[in-house]
Amino acid sequence: MENEDHDYTSTTYNKVCPVEYTYKMSVKEIEDFVKLRVKNNNLFSGKRNTSMWAWRAILKHMRLHYQMTHIQASKKWENLKKRYKGLKNPPAGVKVYPEGWPFFNVMDDAMEGRLDGDTPLLEALPRSANFPSISKRKRRKIPMVPSSSMASIAGGPEIEVTLNGDEDEEATEDGSIMQEMEHERDLMKSEKRVMEREQQVLQRERAVLDREIAALDRERASLERERAIIEREKALLEREKVMLDRDREAVRQDRLALEREKARLERRSAPRERTEDVQKTAASGKTQMSQTGRSSSSTCLKNLLKTFDS
């Protein structure tokens, strides 16, 4: 059986100073809200302050503890239950349309115990079982003010009126809220320090990256200069190649001219060489004839001498 929330949600404080809903929950948030409330029903034991800490645990799990108070969460749950009961069990003769309410199915599953088991079980805050103690109710003496005359105010009888303890309860709740806020503030400060250290590390890494980028830019500029030098040298080599080609063509033309001149000279010198050859042949013939005559004369002389000797 579901335990009802503590009666602090319906105190005279709420009647005198009603809480306005400043945060509108989305459809998904309301569904998670219902599932968490039903799944963690054991946190709502009915003891004083247990409901407050249970609602705060649910809101903190949903990350809504800065948008809603535990009183607003409790009233939201009561309104959902009231709307569901009105659609589930309408008065006799009243026709209702549950499908027109988007949260009827999830509320029906929650009330009938058909919710899935993926909703986490939470731990009520504070984590220890020692909840803040509640002060005893104050007794305040107030004078009876007759409506007949103003003169009887000073000497009128006094009675003791027992208050409902809202002021003490509010003071306890305020103290708990302040403790939670201090804890959150400490967490935020520690996170801020961590973020500052990470930011310093990032700044140092960024400075290193900037230096590396500057070095890369210098290397890129040096490469660009070397590339420009290479391009100029390449253009110079191309011009020298063109000049060499022209010189080679000029040498080839000179060689052809020399070949033609040589051929012409050879053609002119060929008849002269033939004449010289003829003259040389004739001269050699005469020489041979003279030598032959002389040898024959000597032979004849030798023969005559042999004849005389015999």
Instruction: Please state the rounded mean pLDDT for residues 131-143.
Output: 43
Phi, psi angle pair for 142, to nearest 5°: -125, 140
Is pLDDT at 263 greater than 80 in this prediction? yes
Task: Name the token pair of 98.
Answer: 């549950």
Instruction: Please state the rounded mean pLDDT for residues 139-147.
Output: 45
Could you give the CA distance from residue 35 to residue 68 in angstroms, rounded to a whole number? 18
Could you give the CA distance from residue 55 to residue 173 in angstroms, rounded to a whole number? 13
Query: Which domain range does residue 13 map to?
Result: 1-130
> What pLDDT is recorded for position 5?
52
Q: Which of 213, 189, 174 is nearest to 8 (CA)?
A: 174
- Do residues 62 and 34 make contact, with C-beta atoms less than 8 angstroms apart? no
Would you say residue 213 lies in a domain? no
> What pLDDT is recorded for position 10?
45
Token pair 């599932």 is found at: 35
Task: Name the token pair of 245.
Answer: 């080609």
- Do residues 125 and 108 make contact, with C-beta atoms less than 8 angstroms apart? no
Phi, psi angle pair for 103, to nearest 5°: -105, 10
Instruction: Please state the rounded mean pLDDT for residues 108-134.
Output: 68
pLDDT greater at residue 21 or residue 87: 87
Is pLDDT at 281 greater than 90 in this prediction? no
pLDDT category, 229, cuts 50, 70, 90? very high
Token pair 């003829």 is found at: 278
Could you give the CA distance from residue 141 to residue 154 in angstroms, rounded to a whole number? 14
Question: What residues does 91 pair with on adjacent strands?
Answer: none
Q: What is the count of structural domains for the chain?
A: 1
> What pLDDT is recorded for position 79?
94
> What pLDDT is recorded for position 8?
43
> What pLDDT is recorded for position 58?
93
Is pLDDT at 290 greater than 60 in this prediction? yes
Task: Name the token pair of 292.
Answer: 């032959």
Percent of the chain with pLDDT over 90: 38
Most confident of 16-25, 40-49, 50-59: 50-59
Q: Could you tell me the pTM of the whole model?
A: 0.39
Would you say residue 189 lies in a domain? no
Would you say residue 11 lies in a domain? yes
Could you give the CA distance from residue 35 to residue 170 in angstroms, rounded to a whole number? 28
- Do residues 108 and 88 make contact, with C-beta atoms less than 8 angstroms apart? yes
Is pLDDT at 14 greater than 90 in this prediction? no
Token pair 């809903």 is found at: 21
Specify the length of the chain in residues.
Answer: 310
Cα-atom radius of gyration of the chain, to the nearest Å? 64
Q: Is 16 exposed, middle or buried (0-12, 13-18, 19+ CB in 10 A)?
A: exposed
> What is the rounded (10 degree) CA torsion for 223, 229, 230, 233?
180
Q: Is 298 exposed, middle or buried (0-12, 13-18, 19+ CB in 10 A)?
A: exposed
Q: Mean pLDDT of all residues in the chain?
A: 77
Instruction: Report which residue type is found at 145.
Output: V
Is pLDDT at 149 greater than 50 in this prediction? no
Is pLDDT at 297 greater than 50 in this prediction? yes
**What tens digit of pLDDT does each residue of 17-35 get?**
444 556 889 999 999 999 9
pLDDT category, 13, cuts 50, 70, 90? very low
**What tens digit of pLDDT does each residue of 195-217 get?**
999 999 999 999 999 999 999 99
